Amino acid sequence: MSTPPRSASRARRVGTGLLGLLVSAVAIAVLVTVIDVQQTAETLGQTNLWLVAATLLLVPGQIILRTLRWRLLLPLRPDGQRPTVARVMPVLLVGYLGNLILPARLGEPARAYLLARREQIGFARVLGSVLLERVIDLASLAFVAVFAALQSGAPEWIVRGMVIVAAVGFALVAILVASGIARTVAILARLLGTRALRVRAAITHATHFGEGANGGGWGPLAIAVVLSTVTWAFVAGTYWLSAQALGIDIRISASMLVAAVATLGTAIPSAPANIGTYEVATVVVLTALGVPSHEALAMALLTHAIVTVPFAITGAAAVAHLSVSLADVAEEASAALPPPSSVEAG
pLDDT for the residue 343: 36
Residues 6+ apart with CB under 8 A from 8: 339
Please tell me whether the overall predicted TM-score, pTM, comes out greater than 0.85 for this model.
no
Structural domain spans, the chain: 36-336
pLDDT for the residue 122: 86
**Interval 135-162: pLDDT, tens:** 888 888 888 888 888 888 888 888 888 7
Residue 345, strand partner residues: 196
Give which of 219, 262, 229 is closest to 137, Cα–Cα.
229
C-alpha–C-alpha distance, residues 133 and 345, integer Å: 35
**Interval 271-305: pLDDT, tens:** 788 889 999 999 999 999 999 999 999 999 999 99
Give which of 228, 111, 257, 239 is closest to 170, Cα–Cα.
228
Neighbours of 257 (CB within 10 A): 31
| Mean pLDDT across 95-124 | 90
DSSP letter, residue 215: T
Give which of 100, 20, 104 is closest to 305, Cα–Cα.
100
pLDDT above 90 (res 20): no
DSSP letter, residue 121: -
**Interval 294-337: pLDDT, tens:** 999 999 999 999 999 999 999 999 999 999 999 999 889 888 77
278-284's contacts with Cβ under 8 Å and 24+ in sequence apart are 278/304, 279/27, 279/28, 279/31, 279/304, 280/27, 280/30, 280/31, 282/258, 283/31, 283/35
pLDDT above 60 (res 341): no
Least confident of 78-87, 198-207, 263-272: 198-207
pLDDT for the residue 345: 35
pLDDT for the residue 11: 66
User: For the chain, how many helices (H) and strands (E)?
Assistant: 15, 0
Which DSSP string corresponds to 168-183? HHHHHHHHHHTTHHHH
**Interval 154-205: pLDDT, tens:** 888 888 887 887 777 767 666 655 544 445 445 444 554 544 444 444 444 4
C-alpha–C-alpha distance, residues 263 and 258, integer Å: 8
C-alpha–C-alpha distance, residues 323 and 185, integer Å: 37
pLDDT band of 216, cuts 50, 70, 90: low
